[in-house]
Amino acid sequence: MSSLRVLTAAEQVAEHLRSELLRGKWGGVMPGSGRLARELGVGHNTIEAALALLGKEGLLESQGTGRRRRIVLPDNTVPPALRIAFLGYDPPARNEAFIIGTVHSLIDRGHSVFFTDKTLVELGMDVNRIARLVGRTEADAWILGAPPSGVLEWFAERGLRAFSIFGAPHGLPVAGVVPDHEAVLTAFRRLLVLGHRKIVFLAFRGRRRERPGPLWRALMDELEGCGIKTGSYNMPEWEDSRQGFQRLLDSLFEHTPPTALMIEEPPHFFAALQYCGQRGLRVPENLSLICLQESPYFAYSAPAVAHVRWDHGAVVRRIVRWADKLARRRDDRLVSVTKAEFVEGGTIGPLGGR
């Protein structure tokens, strides 16, 4: 008759954590020992001993001091569905068609997807506030909307599984998609051919924070090649509010009015178009306008809006592949380039009118 073996507290905790791991409660990295101690009501030393036991079994892998342990499940473990937190850029971005399409596609694959209660803009891009949000959020993986490099670095340093949509993941161990800027350059060069030199690029906050980023440098190089001195006039800063955007437009047209605006987001494009109507500026006779994203509302616009069209379907498919690989315990840190094209509409014209 075999003797009864009494498990130590650490072994009991390790047994509980092992069963939770194998049923897929956590994915990617293990929660910190402090959080586990609070949830299970045991001491910190007991949790550390239990995690060490799981490490010896090969279920956990150390990633260095101060970083969470990576989960390494056996090959015969059934891939669990992921709980994916969507940390968007700002509240309106949640309603973009390709964002909604991404959520539905991931749900169709069996994953659970939810939006965080705050967006990057609402958190002020502050990594300390983001850290608190991440700490209270139960998620296996994260989708980040247009995150600045500082935010991506924070996620990478902690070994969190994340996917960056139109952020700056190059050089970081973070999967993502980045836009092909060639279509934007094509639009910019078209303005140059039409005689425009006073060109202002109205970028979203993330792009402004990354200045001078690769797209900004490319645009300014093109202008300087024409003998034009560039600076903050060409990519101005403003307060992200309706009043802030109006103040920006007032300041632009007060002394040195631009002849062309390249506007990154459709809401700002429509606001600028309304501003032109209020000021008696005719488009494109007095001012050329290009939007660097597509909007379904452009179908109702006359003249047709000059804009850059992105292949958002490819973005959705890329995110789904990333999530499926993670569910099968395959690492994916590939950064893909999304193709785009410039659609020349009737909102641009030659300098000085037609």
Residues 6 or more apart whose CB falls under 8 angstroms from that of 112 comprise: 81, 82, 83, 84
Q: What's the length of the chain?
A: 354
Q: Are residues 169 and 198 in the same domain?
A: no
Among residues 318, 314, 310, the alpha carbon closest in space to that of 179 is found at 310
Q: Are residues 58 and 97 in the same domain?
A: no
Where does a domain end: 71, 104, 122?
Answer: 71
Q: What is the mean pLDDT of the chain?
A: 87
Q: What radius of gyration, in Å, describes the C-alpha atoms of the chain?
A: 25
Report the CATH number at residue 24.
1.10.10.10
pLDDT of residue 180: 84
pLDDT over 60 (residue 129): yes
The answer to whether residue 350 is domain-embedded is: no
pLDDT of residue 307: 96
Q: Tell me the per-residue pLDDT of 136-152, one tens digit each, with 9 for 90 and over.
A: 998 989 999 988 888 99
Q: Are residues 231 and 290 in the same domain?
A: yes
297, with CB counted inside 10 A (0-12, 13-18, 19+), is exposed
Q: Are residues 271 and 196 in the same domain?
A: yes
Q: Are 111 and 161 in contact (CB under 8 A)?
A: no
Domain extent, residue 66, equals 9-71
- Range with top average pLDDT, 158-167, 171-180, 233-242, 245-254: 245-254
The gap between the terminal CA atoms of the chain, to the nearest Å, is: 99
Q: Are residues 281 and 317 in the same domain?
A: no
Residue 269's pLDDT band, with cuts at 50, 70 and 90, is very high
pLDDT over 70 (residue 300): yes
Q: Tell me the per-residue pLDDT of 310-347, one tens digit each, with 9 for 90 and over.
A: 888 899 999 999 998 888 777 888 999 888 999 999 99
What the block records as the tokens of 50 is 């239990």
The answer to whether residue 258 is domain-embedded is: yes
CB atoms within 10 A of CB 246: 15
Residue 1's pLDDT band, with cuts at 50, 70 and 90, is very low
Report the CATH number at residue 135.
3.40.50.2300
Q: Are residues 168 and 101 in the same domain?
A: yes
pLDDT of residue 209: 65
The answer to whether residue 2 is domain-embedded is: no
The answer to whether residue 130 is domain-embedded is: yes
Q: Are residues 91 and 175 in the same domain?
A: yes
What the block records as the tokens of 113 is 């997807």
pLDDT over 70 (residue 262): yes
Residues 6 or more apart whose CB falls under 8 angstroms from that of 61 comprise: 55, 69, 70, 71, 72
Q: Tell me the per-residue pLDDT of 24-33, one tens digit each, with 9 for 90 and over.
A: 677 678 888 8
- Structural domains of the chain, count: 3
Q: Are residues 213 and 107 in the same domain?
A: no
pLDDT over 70 (residue 4): no
Q: Are residues 175 and 282 in the same domain?
A: no
Provide mean pLDDT across the span 169-179. Answer: 84
Q: Tell me the per-residue pLDDT of 65-102, one tens digit each, with 9 for 90 and over.
A: 878 888 887 766 655 678 999 999 888 888 888 899 99
Task: Characterise 342 by phi-psi region: left (phi > 0), alpha (psi -120 to 50), beta (else).
Answer: beta
The answer to whether residue 205 is domain-embedded is: yes
pLDDT of residue 212: 63
The answer to whether residue 351 is domain-embedded is: no
Q: Are residues 123 and 222 in the same domain?
A: no
Where does a domain end: 18, 36, 71?
Answer: 71
pTM of the model: 0.71
Q: Are residues 294 and 334 in the same domain?
A: no
Q: Are residues 33 and 117 in the same domain?
A: no
Provide mean pLDDT across the span 117-144. Answer: 93
pLDDT over 90 (residue 259): yes
Where does a domain end: 71, 96, 118?
Answer: 71
The answer to whether residue 345 is domain-embedded is: no
pLDDT of residue 257: 94
Provide mean pLDDT across the span 250-274. Answer: 93
The answer to whether residue 297 is domain-embedded is: yes
